[in-house]
Structure 1
Amino acid sequence: MPLGGIRALTVRRTLPHRDRSFVGAWCFVDHYGPVDVDPDGSGGMDVPPHPHTGLQTVSWLFAGHIEHRDSAGVLGQVLPGEVNLMTAGDGIAHSEVSVAGPSVLHGVQLWVALPDESRSGEREFEHYAPDPVDLPAGSGTALVFLGSLEGIAASPVHTYTPLLGAQLDLVAGARLELSVDPGFEHGLLVDTGSVTFEGRPLGPADLGCVDEGRDRLVLEVGDDPARVVLLGGTPFEEEIVMWWNFVGRSHDEVAAAREQWEAGSDRFGTVDGYEGEVSRIPAPPLPGVRLKSRGRRGRR
């Protein structure tokens, strides 16, 4: 999928999928890179100001450097191993641009659907740099950026539903048993290497998902070291309408947000300091049919 405007970055969109819309409240998983970045920062990510509603964005890098600007006045830096979480609430706009220096850009962009009682709140932004912690039996290390891994580490970042997000760097040939919350669904995104996850083999860019009910997860690493992202959360029981950059509850709600963005509404504010070939990304036209809601198992 192309991400951004006229200089779009190609990403691998593993969630939503026709068979699964969520892992917990995680509703969107983009996996990109590694891509080469020119010395001036070009060739990487250049996403002009664009809107969001009803969600949180979670930015996580393996390599590179991205500058984040938003209409709440935040100027933030996205760096490897440090999480940036932006809460859109009722409406926000932001831009994301590669910074000169690093020669490679590589990471994931994740979205979390906000529950109905929290989705019209204020704009927020949090940054956290977790320390690496050892995994059991010398199997590798973890960076826990959201939620907690039992007995291993916990993140102070606030979420509106129970969530887990962690990068696991695993040694070749390791067998890892993780104690997890049995009330969580879990997903494992493989970045590098190969991993057998709960008996199923996964390779680079695969996303393996399991339902709630397990109190442990078993990962077996192949002949090379592996890097994976473990996601989890309690089942998200609400149905949503997700289109372009908006998460709502009905076609009419999303259509209204699109119209307000195109009209320059104060709902989304302005992003100061972005310098690009275009000042904002225009919304695409709505499809010629009414947008349908999606729940845990796909579209209605």
Structure 2
Amino acid sequence: MVSNLELDPPERVCEREAEPAPDAVEIIGSRDVPLGGPRAMTVRRTLPSRERSFVGAWCFADHYGPDDVSVTGGMDVAPHPHTGLQTVSWLFTGEIEHRDSMGSHAMVRPGEVNLMTGGHGIAHTEVSTPDTTTLHGVQLWVALPAESRDAPRAFDHHVPDVVTVAGGSVRVFIGSLRFAGEVVASPIDTFTPLLGAEIVVDAGATLTLDVDPAFEHAVLVDTGAVTVSGSRVDRGELGFRGPGGDTLAITDATGSGARVVLLGGTPFDEEIVMWWNFIGRTHEEIVAFRDAWERADDRFGAVEGYPGDRLPAPALPGVRLKPRRNPNR
């Protein structure tokens, strides 16, 4: 589900924000966004937000489910394009079939990460399988840095091991973490230093992680609630902490356990423009990407095996797109 299906997607010019103190936790609430038509599945979006555009190079985070597909119809995203980014799919429940224009055909399953690189341009589809009754997961985007934003198409799949630690368990699907002196790392390549992990915190427990002090981190709560550096983060919220600390303590706040997704990375110091499924650097680039998609340009290629039409790009506004900036700018 790595398409932005908003019918009137805004352009976003995303910049670095002033960093809080290392131990300060910024709470970013989610907003509900319906994806698709009248039976749309609703997602909870935390990135980008008015408060924050990036966590490292993570620039887009949708959290969805548990979603009853008998009510919403499940996921059926027609061929659509991407530029200037990597997409990361991570499921808790359900199964999704992925096809893309480089010929990849794979399943997205719980506990297995699929990462697709669409730098210069790629197209793909994602469809929930007939046996899926509940969909529950996150969709994430990573902004590519300027020197790599035209990277060729690529697709990676990895099944991370579950690492049991004091207070819970961890699956590292992007980047690496150190446990008891040993590094657990994902083999998936990224273009900037990143971290992505699913963390389960036991009931009443605190899970303390050794983290890179050069990274900024954010905890996205899937189930339950947690405290991070003394600040409570509820379900669907993102708790952000800036660089500087070498440990991160996540505590169950309800007494019944919690599950979170931990995102991290070195601060991303570039400005990007996001509109629909494109990331560029200027208004003119976004217009050119949209035009290329509507012309079925070879930039994006074609997806084979999907029984339907391509997803048309939304109409651009009749005036020049204006950047949306963070309120502290």
Structure 2 length-normalised TM: 0.85
| Alignment partners' CA distance in 1, 2:38 and 2:273 | 26
Within-5 A mapping of 1:19-168: 19-38=51-70, 43-135=73-165, 137=166, 139-151=167-179, 153-168=184-199
**Secondary structure at the counterpart of residue 256 of structure 1:** helix
Which residue pairs with 1:283 in the alignment? Answer: 313
| Alignment partners' CA distance in 2, 1:75 and 1:216 | 39
Checking the alignment, whether the CA contact within 8 Å between 2:160 and 2:186 is kept in structure 1 is yes
Checking the alignment, whether the CA contact within 8 Å between 1:246 and 1:254 is kept in structure 2 is yes
Deviation readout 1:25-44 (Å, 9 max, x if unpaired):
00000000111134xx9721
| Alignment partners' CA distance in 1, 2:105 and 2:34 | 25
| Alignment partners' CA distance in 1, 2:213 and 2:225 | 25
**Secondary structure at the counterpart of residue 191 of structure 1:** strand
Match of 1:197 among 211, 225, 228: 228
Deviation at residue 9 of structure 1 after TM alignment: 2.2
**Secondary structure at the counterpart of residue 58 of structure 1:** strand
| Alignment partners' CA distance in 1, 2:66 and 2:244 | 35
Match of 1:226 among 250, 258, 267: 258
| Alignment partners' CA distance in 1, 2:288 and 2:39 | 28
Checking the alignment, whether the CA contact within 8 Å between 1:293 and 1:299 is kept in structure 2 is no
Checking the alignment, whether the CA contact within 8 Å between 1:241 and 1:291 is kept in structure 2 is no
- Of structures 1 and 2, the one scoring higher in RCO (CA 8 A, sep 6+) is 2
Structure 1, unpaired ranges of 5+: none
Change (3 A) 1:129 1:213: same
Deviation readout 1:2-58 (Å, 9 max, x if unpaired):
2246753211111001111000000000000111134xx972111111100000000
| Alignment partners' CA distance in 1, 2:39 and 2:217 | 34
Moved more, 212-221 or 18-27: 212-221
Structure 1 length-normalised TM: 0.93
**Secondary structure at the counterpart of residue 292 of structure 2:** helix
Which residue pairs with 2:18 in the alignment? Answer: none
Checking the alignment, whether the CA contact within 8 Å between 2:220 and 2:239 is kept in structure 1 is yes
2:73 equivalent to 1:18: no
Percent of aligned pairs sharing the same letter: 63
Deviation at residue 298 of structure 1 after TM alignment: 6.7
| Alignment partners' CA distance in 1, 2:72 and 2:106 | 19
| Alignment partners' CA distance in 2, 1:4 and 1:131 | 34
Deviation at residue 201 of structure 1 after TM alignment: 0.5
| Alignment partners' CA distance in 2, 1:171 and 1:246 | 39
Letter in 1 for 2:234: G
**Secondary structure at the counterpart of residue 151 of structure 2:** coil
Deviation at residue 102 of structure 1 after TM alignment: 2.8
| Alignment partners' CA distance in 2, 1:179 and 1:67 | 35
Which residue pairs with 2:21 in the alignment? Answer: none
Deviation at residue 198 of structure 1 after TM alignment: 1.4
Checking the alignment, whether the CA contact within 8 Å between 2:39 and 2:72 is kept in structure 1 is no
| CA RMSD of superposed structures (Å) | 1.8
**Secondary structure at the counterpart of residue 147 of structure 2:** coil
Change (3 A) 1:91 1:268: same
Deviation at residue 79 of structure 1 after TM alignment: 0.2
Moved more, 284-293 or 152-161: 284-293
| Alignment partners' CA distance in 1, 2:290 and 2:258 | 41
Checking the alignment, whether the CA contact within 8 Å between 2:41 and 2:72 is kept in structure 1 is no
Moved more, 25-34 or 265-274: 265-274
| Alignment partners' CA distance in 2, 1:10 and 1:197 | 27
Alignment coverage as a number of residue pairs:
293
